[in-house]
Amino acid sequence: MTMDIKFSIIVPVYNSESYLVNCIESLINQTYSNIEIILINDGSTDASLNICEEYQKKDSRIVILNKKNEGPSAARND
């Protein structure tokens, strides 16, 4: 019996619109598909949240958490 382990990938997001698409694309195109992608929007003021929301509509494995800006360490700890 083979067990598929589900992995959660946590991505702190803060004003990262210029490279966020590449990041999310690389995650959703992994060969191992039993993953949950948690995008933690840390109070972005650019289009980062919009990008996250568009990908969430396309892929049910994506979860978005919104919070006020406290830095990447705090974002990963939520």
H-assigned helices in 1-78: 17-28, 48-58, 72-77
C-alpha distances in angstroms, 59 versus 14, 35, 62? 21, 11, 6
Q: pTM for the whole thing?
A: 0.85
What does the pLDDT look like over 11-66, one tens digit per residue? 999 999 999 999 999 999 999 999 999 999 999 999 999 999 999 999 999 999 99
| Tens of pLDDT, residues 27-42 | 999 999 999 999 999 9
The answer to whether 20 and 52 have CB atoms below 8 angstroms apart is yes
